[in-house]
Amino acid sequence: MLVIYSCMSKRIIFRICGLIIIMFSVWMLIPSEKNEDLFSERVKVSLRNVGNQLLLSHQDSTSLIEPVIAISKNKYQLSFQKPLSFEPGQLVSIIDSSFQKASLPNSYLVETIQCTEQEVAYSYQILNNVENSIIPCAGRYLPESCYTIEVLFTNIETVSTGKRAGYYGLLLGGFALIFLGFYKKKQDEILVDNQESYSSLGSFQFYPEQNKLVKQAEEISLSKKECELLEIFVASPNQIIKRDELTKKVWEDHGVFVGRSLDTYISKLRKKLEEDDSIKITNVHGVGYKLEIN
């Protein structure tokens, strides 16, 4: 009972852990609109700060900064009320400082676009690895004009995909734990069933409910009468069982008994047990039979 209880506890633990992992993974895989909105607001506040710093560097403390627009997912546009001029190095420094304060991703592409012609006047890219960053034209002032600054965060999808793959892995692990819990249940049921349903008979395993003998991987089928007789012998090994007792138990309520029927079935049982020399059914003349087990 202690073994069975321990197995049941393990199965329950497997299932509970699997369910917890599955629920956590599903919850993390569901897109969070709140988180996306919060990220968007942080970007907009940070870019407005960038615009303010650029205007102040141009000695402009009165003109307005237009509302920051989310052009598409992870791409934002900063625009100004009046024309301005700035040195690209200033833009790089101001954006880097503002993004760090707002804890924004450190991989992004910046494009400065001329308003009327919609041509890129200046652009640069920052990657996680500073050595791979592309920052051209530092030191050259852009002529005073109408500009919009567009920022595209480039590694958000990659990070999200990596996390998503991890959560999918957890999800599969949860299902695997639940499957393992049911598998162990089946194995435990088979183990308990086998322990209760067979009797050891020398090198054989006797399954009376399934009418068979098993020796290693070999199954030996028994007829109903053979099985009933062997069950009587197994219950009283090395004891003489009278012929009348055998015939009464096996044939009394099952039709007509022919005189030689008992001997015929005993002979069949002997042949099926002959592979094990430690077992034999002997005839006690004038009395009955005995299952001898050495």
- Quote the pTM value: 0.45
Look at residue 5 and tell me whether its pLDDT is greater than 60: no
On whether both 191 and 203 belong to a single domain, the answer is no
Burial class (CB in 10 A: 0-12, 13-18, 19+), 205: middle
On whether both 174 and 259 belong to a single domain, the answer is no
What is the crossing angle of helices 243-251 and 261-273, to 10°?
90
Q: What is the pLDDT of residues 25-64, one digit of tens each?
A: 666 655 545 567 788 999 999 999 999 999 998 888 888 9
On whether both 232 and 246 belong to a single domain, the answer is yes
State the pLDDT at residue 158: 41
Q: Print the domain residue range for 165.
A: 2-30+160-195
Look at residue 174 and tell me whether its pLDDT is greater than 70: no
On whether both 172 and 98 belong to a single domain, the answer is no
Sign, Cα dihedral of 75, 76, 77, 78: negative
Q: What percent of the chain has pLDDT over 90?
A: 34
With a CB cutoff of 8 Å and minimum separation 6, the contacts of 167 are 25, 28, 29
Alpha-carbon distance of 125 to 254, in angstroms, equals: 94
> What mean pLDDT is predicted for residues 125-136?
63
On whether both 19 and 164 belong to a single domain, the answer is yes
- CATH code for the domain in which residue 93 is found: 3.30.980
On whether both 149 and 176 belong to a single domain, the answer is no
Look at residue 173 and tell me whether its pLDDT is greater than 70: no
On whether both 117 and 211 belong to a single domain, the answer is no
On whether both 145 and 106 belong to a single domain, the answer is yes
With a CB cutoff of 8 Å and minimum separation 6, the contacts of 36 are none
The domain boundary, picked from 101, 130, 154, lies at 154
State the pLDDT at residue 290: 93
- Which segment of 167-171, 235-239, 283-287 scores lowest on mean pLDDT? 167-171
Type of residue found at 288: G
- Of the pLDDT bands very low, low, confident and very high (cuts 50, 70, 90), residue 2 is very low
CB atoms within 10 A of CB 23: 12
On whether both 191 and 264 belong to a single domain, the answer is no
The backbone region for 77, taken as left when phi is positive above 0, alpha when psi lies in -120 to 50, beta otherwise, is beta
DSSP letter string, 216-229: TTEEEE--HHHHHH
On whether both 39 and 142 belong to a single domain, the answer is yes
Number of domains in the chain: 3
Type of residue found at 49: N
* DSSP H helices in 140-290: 156-197, 224-235, 243-251, 261-273
On whether both 282 and 208 belong to a single domain, the answer is yes
On whether both 40 and 144 belong to a single domain, the answer is yes
Q: What is the pLDDT of residues 185-233, one digit of tens each?
A: 555 555 545 455 788 888 898 988 888 999 887 889 999 999 999 999 9
